[in-house]
Copies of this chain bind each other. A is one copy, B any other.
Amino acid sequence: MKSDLDRLMAERAIDALLILPGENEDPYRVYLSNGVQHSGLVLKRRSEPPVLIVNSMERDEAARSGLAVYTYDNFGYSELARTYQDNRDTITVTWYSRIFEEFGVAGKVGLYGVSDLNAALSTVRILEKALSDRLHFVTEEPRDTIFDRAYETKDPAEVTRLREVARRTSAVVRATRDWLATHRAAGDTVITAEGTPLRIGDVKRHVRGLLFAEGLVDSEGMIFAQGRDAAVPHSKGADSEPLRLGTTIVFDLFPREPGGYFHDMTRTWCLGYAPPEVQAVYETVMDAFRRAQAMCAPGVSTSAVQRMVCELFEAAGHPTVLHSPATTDGYTHSLAHGVGLNVHEAPYFPTFSNRYTLQPGNVFTIEPGLYYAERGYGVRIEDTVYLNEADELETLTDVPYDLVIKLEQ
């Protein structure tokens, strides 16, 4: 959690964390800025709270963080731009030097954030050349950075937000299920009140309305994929396609509060009835889901849980990434990931390494699945769970698991 940052910086001998200014959404910046979105620079020295340096137009927004806020012009940015015009190197070096001087930044500086890569790399090269006697920029092993390790556990305020977005997302999925059940079937087609076929685009529109009413944002695009598409885990589904009875639908929804925390969950549904083969695969997936839940406890390696699921699936005759790393049939992905300000964050559950050990404060998905594109089906079940301070695994998602949604003919 965020309060671990100073300990992590000390352990790794990193003197300061730096996030460069930039306009794009940046979960690192939001995290260090106590939830506030702005486009400024963030600097955190070890054992000191972060400071924000923003365009003066954003000074009011930035102040909501409760942190010390400075403007670009407190370090003379506009005057430098006027004086040196197109001499970007001089402007950059002078401006950053003033900031580093003011806050005593020197030594190992970690660079983070989600940035325009060309602009960031260009700034880094200018500063590395000019300030090499003062500081050097360090990178960390991806998936083992200071931020990964902080994101890995959530503090009580974060858990409150995650519970709330879980509650709202679950309400949307339950309402979607109930709404689908109000439709009737004509043969293998699902029919609206107007007598026309219900299409995936209609369902997505309905879901977006429900999300909107709950104040949630679906910025990355939900998955509502049927049949063969359901077997390609990130295929989002074809809007024009009519819903069919007896076909798997994978509904993966991962919305968030605007600029805030995500929830992530998946249900697999069959309208009307489930073919026996699909029913059997669904039961295998539910079995993996339950066993993974039962295994998740403090001290357990995340890879061990992933491998347990692979072995369970392989014993049932399904190929998995454990022995067929590039398979696109069977179990084709990893079991889980953390959820927070990023929809995917630490802890990760890789098949082939062992960096993460479960601990109280983890919030993560559990999402086994089995996929057979050529047979026209895919099944995935996903909840987001919280390993709480009492070492218990709490399920934050609250939606029935049932495969079949009955329709009247």
A residues at B contact (CB < 8 Å): 20, 23-25, 37, 55-61, 73, 76-79, 81-82, 85-86, 88, 110-122, 124-125, 137, 139-142, 145, 147, 208-209, 212, 217, 219, 221, 229, 232-236, 258-259, 321, 325-326, 328, 332-333, 342-344, 350-353, 355
Residues of B within 8 A of A59 (CB): 232
Smallest Cβ-Cβ distance to A328: which chain B residue: B56
* A234→B72 CA distance, assembly (Å): 15
Smallest Cβ-Cβ distance to A84: which chain B residue: B352
Q: From residue A23, how far is it (CB to closest CB) to chain B in Å?
A: 6
Residues of B within 8 A of A120 (CB): 117, 120-121
Q: From residue A71, how far is it (CB to closest CB) to chain B in Å?
A: 8
Contact assessment for A78 and B25 in the assembled complex, using a CB-CB cutoff below 8 Å? no
Contact assessment for A118 and B110 in the assembled complex, using a CB-CB cutoff below 8 Å? yes
Contact assessment for A235 and B61 in the assembled complex, using a CB-CB cutoff below 8 Å? yes
* A65→B69 CA distance, assembly (Å): 43
Smallest Cβ-Cβ distance to A88: which chain B residue: B141
Contact assessment for B111 and A118 in the assembled complex, using a CB-CB cutoff below 8 Å? yes
Give me the 5 closest cross-chain CB pairs, A-B, nearest first: A78-B325, A73-B326, A57-B234, A122-B139, A57-B233
Instruction: Please name 13 further chain A to chain B contacts, defined as beta carbons within 8 Å, in addition to the given A24-B25, A81-B352, A82-B351, sorted by A numbering.
Output: A55-B234, A59-B232, A60-B234, A78-B321, A78-B325, A82-B352, A85-B353, A88-B142, A112-B118, A113-B117, A120-B121, A122-B142, A219-B219
Residues of B within 8 A of A343 (CB): 23
* A79→B23 CA distance, assembly (Å): 37
* A122→B124 CA distance, assembly (Å): 13
Contact assessment for A232 and B60 in the assembled complex, using a CB-CB cutoff below 8 Å? yes
Beyond A212-B212, A233-B57, A326-B73, whether A20 also contacts B117 by CB under 8 A is: yes
Residues of B within 8 A of A141 (CB): 88, 122
Q: From residue A372, how far is it (CB to closest CB) to chain B in Å?
A: 14
Residues of B within 8 A of A139 (CB): 118, 121-122, 125
Set B86, B232, B326: member contacting A79, Cβ < 8 A: B326
Q: From residue A76, how far is it (CB to closest CB) to chain B in Å?
A: 8
Most buried by B among A81, A117, A212, A332: A117
Residues of B within 8 A of A111 (CB): 117-118, 121
Residues of B within 8 A of A56 (CB): 232, 326, 328, 332
Residues of B within 8 A of A124 (CB): 121
* A43→B78 CA distance, assembly (Å): 37
Residues of B within 8 A of A121 (CB): 111, 120-121, 124, 137, 139
Q: From residue A311, how far is it (CB to closest CB) to chain B in Å?
A: 15
Contact assessment for B117 and A117 in the assembled complex, using a CB-CB cutoff below 8 Å? yes
Residues of B within 8 A of A221 (CB): 37, 258-259
* A234→B122 CA distance, assembly (Å): 27
Beyond A59-B232, A229-B60, whether A114 also contacts B112 by CB under 8 A is: no
What are 15 residue pairs bridging A and B, where the CB atoms are less than 8 Å apart in the complex?
A24-B25, A37-B221, A59-B232, A60-B234, A61-B236, A76-B326, A81-B351, A88-B141, A111-B121, A113-B117, A115-B117, A118-B140, A118-B142, A121-B139, A122-B139
Contact assessment for A232 and B57 in the assembled complex, using a CB-CB cutoff below 8 Å? yes
Residues of B within 8 A of A219 (CB): 25, 217, 219
Smallest Cβ-Cβ distance to A54: which chain B residue: B234
Residues of B within 8 A of A110 (CB): 118
Most buried by B among A116, A321, A353: A116
* A235→B328 CA distance, assembly (Å): 49
Q: From residue A44, how far is it (CB to closest CB) to chain B in Å?
A: 14
